[in-house]
Amino acid sequence: MDRNVILAIVLSVATLLAFQYFGPKPAPAPEKTTPAQSAPADQKPAQPGAAAPAAKAETPVQKPAQSTVVEKEVTVETDLYTATLTNKGGTFKRIELKKYRTTDGSKPIVFSANAAMPPLAIGTDEEFSFAGAIFTPNASSLKLDASKKEASLVFDYAGQSGQTVRRTYTFHQGEYRIDIKDEVQGFPAYYVTLGKEFGMHEKDDNHYGPVVLIEADRKEFDATGLKSASVFKGAVKWIAQEDKYFFSALVPKSTIDEARVIPKNNDSLAVIKASGQINQFMLYVGPKEMDTLEQYKVGLEHIVDLGWFSIIARPLFWVLKFFNGFTHNYGYAIILIAIATRIPFIPLINKGQESMKKLAMIQPRMNEIKEKYKNDPQRMQKEVMELYKQHKVNPVGGCLPMLAQIPVFIALFNILRQSIELRGAPFALWITDLSAKDPYYVLPIVMGATTFLQQKMTPSTTTDPMQQKMMLMMPIVFTFIFLTMPSGVVLYWTVGNLLAIAQQFYMNQKAKAAVAAE
């Protein structure tokens, strides 16, 4: 395969990387995300138990309670977070994580409830009329420690129309998991929401907003601007609100009717509808730690979107953490994984480089054939194939190593971009955060220089001046793309370039020795 095809492949990979990093993450089109979707949200729920009269009767009962009862807060402290709950709606006001801080390190990560729609608000319809209802808590504070590893907090509500709610939160020392049990009376069906942006903190180019998991299939939605609802029935594993590194998820542990993502005041809310009198859920509010999420065995690990090649990415992620286990530095772990992932391709790369050299040697003869038979394409193709056969050249040999490595690189690219383990992880000298860009752009420039050097060392298979100019532009294009990428990604690519240069140098010296021996 000649150099213009190689150029096309390389530029395609560059375009793919740029799109994944810089490109938008559009929400799936409403009404078409799954065959199990039902009607749009502007059609009010028509399932048995929607009970519009009950919802209307309940609304005026709640309003006086909101204005006459003083709000009370309940604090729950564990080794991982401090949570503040309120008797207004029996919901969370905030959760402050103890082990994670903002990117500048100035303050801890805090998930705050939106006053208009707090997390875990409930209601008989999508208006969540009980979000402001006054509940009675059974404690004013809870503190978990080594001697008290589990504790429960109960909120009770009794309405004048016979509707009652008992919500029990069970907290666990050493876990971000919170178990929820709702016991309701007088509700043919009720709705629970994660609220607006609860579990979402840092906005960047990654997805930011609601997610619904159907089996192992993620359905993503924008955090704002949703035009209509999407409804999911059947195998709903969980609903979530996510940013790049943190999220909240509500996992049904009992049978539910459906999950929805609905527009509400220009925000997108993830909602669960249930009709049972006793409904149990698992709430997770915290970091996207893969090991932690996998242990629950409810599919929470799918909140980390490792892209098309996740089947490759997950074992590679384990290898990366294994290397970090004895280097205690993710920068060195990245270098080791760059070496380890290249080793299996060494024989293939050697054959590819040999093919490139042979192609370069016969290039003048190929140009003669193309000129001689330019008006007879069939004869030209026949003569070229004879030339390949005569010199034992595989025309696609130079591209196979590159094609084989693309899935591995894209898998690693997604790991290094999205792993919270690399958030704030230092490498050396000026690289203090492998998840952030190089503040002085040293690594991207070194990466561009090594790309240029690698290109100059690779035998040319074309004499076309235009193609040669385009190849010279490739290091500049790559440098521009990598300028703002996480330094961990740039480090991996740079190490790969250095290994390729060393291997090409070895092959060039071997070729020179063979020529001298002749």
| pLDDT one-digit tens code per residue, 443-452 | 999 999 998 8
Has residue 444 been placed in a domain? yes
Q: Are residues 11 and 157 located together in one domain of the fold?
A: no
Has residue 323 been placed in a domain? yes
Q: Are residues 272 and 330 located together in one domain of the fold?
A: no
Question: What pLDDT is attached to residue 80?
Answer: 95
Q: Are residues 14 and 92 located together in one domain of the fold?
A: no
Q: Domain limits at 377?
A: 3-20+313-517
Question: What pLDDT is attached to residue 176?
Answer: 95
Has residue 85 been placed in a domain? yes
How many distinct structural domains can be found in the chain?
2
Nearest to 80 by CA among 102, 40, 109, 107: 109
Has residue 210 been placed in a domain? yes
**CB half-sphere exposure, 289, CA atoms < 13 A:** 13
Region of residue 508 (phi > 0: left; psi between -120 and 50: alpha; otherwise: beta): alpha
Has residue 118 been placed in a domain? yes
Domain boundary among 279, 305, 331: 305
Domain boundary among 305, 321, 346: 305
Q: Are residues 113 and 249 located together in one domain of the fold?
A: yes
Q: What CATH number is given to the structural domain containing 41?
A: 2.70.98.90
Q: Are residues 352 and 209 located together in one domain of the fold?
A: no
Question: What pLDDT is attached to residue 95?
Answer: 93
Q: Are residues 366 and 494 located together in one domain of the fold?
A: yes
Has residue 25 been placed in a domain? no
pLDDT digits (tens, 9 = 90+) for 237-252: 999 999 889 999 999 9
Q: Are residues 144 and 264 located together in one domain of the fold?
A: yes
Question: What pLDDT is attached to residue 128?
Answer: 83
Task: For residue 477, give both structure tokens.
Answer: 């294009």
Low-confidence ranges of the chain (pLDDT < 50): 1-9, 19, 24-67
Question: What pLDDT is attached to residue 312?
Answer: 86
Q: Are residues 272 and 347 located together in one domain of the fold?
A: no
Has residue 26 been placed in a domain? no
Question: What pLDDT is attached to residue 133?
Answer: 87
Own/partner long-range contacts of 11-20 (Cβ < 8 Å, ≥24 apart): 11/474, 11/477, 13/406, 13/409, 14/474, 14/477, 14/478, 14/481, 16/410, 17/410, 17/413, 17/481, 18/481, 20/307, 20/410, 20/413, 20/414
Q: Are residues 403 and 330 located together in one domain of the fold?
A: yes
Has residue 254 been placed in a domain? yes
Q: Are residues 149 and 287 located together in one domain of the fold?
A: yes
Q: Are residues 175 and 275 located together in one domain of the fold?
A: yes
Q: Are residues 379 and 265 located together in one domain of the fold?
A: no
